[in-house]
């Protein structure tokens, strides 16, 4: 996975990381725009309490936002990039959430020893803007690990752009997909139909598909 996070938010490619706070916090501009609509959907999909694991948390801005919005949950951020983990921890300190929110875990969803890094049972897994900027084996690993780690009734929420039956839902998503594949042939906007089939094979049941701003979607499965 890459240190930068391209996004279709606002129908433009955004992958710039800004700092300048005098600490290790990073800013992903798209986060400022999409955290409210994402949070609104998560409010309907997440349990009332318990541990939530966010995969590929990036800067940590989503994590601290959702920890504050859902105080009855424990929001566990994670990312394979050590720079991102430092940013997450810096955001936790800045938002004075150290007593509530655990430090970032440096983990890759493809790690087969993932269960050893979690302190308590999970209730849900969240992945925001991951599938299109990682190889297909990250998608299959996310679905497989979710089926293995979540309890019966646990949820997996995945946000990002998708095409449907091989067709892009907008010209901007087509352009975005082209730019991703130019950067890395293993990247690209995933086909919703293919992802749903793979999830079913892993033992996950589709709960809901929510259309989101800027041609994104939130797909939610139940274990």
pLDDT of residue 7: 53
pLDDT of residue 111: 83
Task: Using pLDDT thresholds of 50, 70 and 90, give the confidence band for residue 116.
Answer: low
Cα–Cα distance measured from residue 92 to residue 118, given in angstroms and rounded to the nearest whole number: 18
Tokens found for residue 207: 């709960």
Cα–Cα distance measured from residue 51 to residue 114, given in angstroms and rounded to the nearest whole number: 15
Q: Which residues contact 219 (CB under 8 A, 6 or more apart)?
A: 157, 158, 159, 162, 192, 195, 196, 206, 208, 209, 210
pLDDT of residue 180: 94
The torsion angles phi and psi of 122, rounded to 5 degrees, stand at -85, 155
- Is residue 7 within 8 Å of residue 187, measured between CB atoms? no
pLDDT of residue 31: 84
pLDDT of residue 44: 96
pLDDT of residue 112: 72
Render 103-171 in DSSP notation, one character per residue. PPB---TT-TTGGGG-SS-EEEEEEES-GGGS-HHHHHHHHHHHHHHSPTT-EEEEEEEEEBTTB-SSH
List 155's β-bridge partners, or say none: 124, 222
Please check the confidence at residue 36 and state whether its pLDDT lies above 70: yes
Task: Using pLDDT thresholds of 50, 70 and 90, give the confidence band for residue 6.
Answer: low
pLDDT of residue 9: 56
pLDDT of residue 189: 96
Mean pLDDT score of the chain: 89
- Enter the pTM of the model: 0.90
Task: Using pLDDT thresholds of 50, 70 and 90, give the confidence band for residue 2.
Answer: very low
Please check the confidence at residue 57 and state whether its pLDDT lies above 70: yes
Cα–Cα distance measured from residue 4 to residue 6, given in angstroms and rounded to the nearest whole number: 6
Please check the confidence at residue 119 and state whether its pLDDT lies above 80: no
Task: Using pLDDT thresholds of 50, 70 and 90, give the confidence band for residue 64.
Answer: very high
């Amino acid at each position: 996975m890459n240190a930068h996070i391209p996004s279709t938010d606002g129908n433009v490619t955004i992958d710039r990381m800004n700092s300048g706070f005098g600490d290790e916090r990073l800013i992903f501009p798209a986060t400022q725009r999409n955290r409210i609509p994402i949070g609104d959907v998560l409010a309907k999909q997440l349990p009332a309490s318990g541990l939530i694991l966010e995969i590929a948390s990036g800067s940590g801005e989503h994590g601290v936002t959702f920890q504050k919005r859902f105080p009855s949950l424990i929001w566990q951020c994670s990312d394979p990039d050590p720079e991102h983990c430092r940013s997450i921890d810096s955001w936790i300190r800045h938002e004075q959430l150290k007593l509530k929110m655990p430090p970032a875990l440096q983990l890759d969803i493809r790690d087969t020893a993932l269960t050893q890094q979690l302190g308590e049972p999970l209730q849900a897994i969240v992945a925001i803007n991951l599938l299109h900027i990682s190889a297909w084996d990250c998608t299959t690993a996310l679905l497989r690990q979710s089926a293995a780690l979540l309890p019966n009734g646990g949820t997996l929420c995945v946000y990002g752009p998708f095409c449907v039956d091989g067709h892009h839902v907008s010209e901007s998503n087509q352009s975005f997909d082209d730019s991703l594949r130019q950067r890395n042939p293993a990247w690209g906007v995933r086909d919703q139909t293919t992802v749903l089939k793979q999830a079913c094979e892993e033992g996950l049941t589709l709960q809901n598909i929510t259309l989101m701003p800027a041609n994104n979607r939130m797909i939610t499965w139940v274990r």
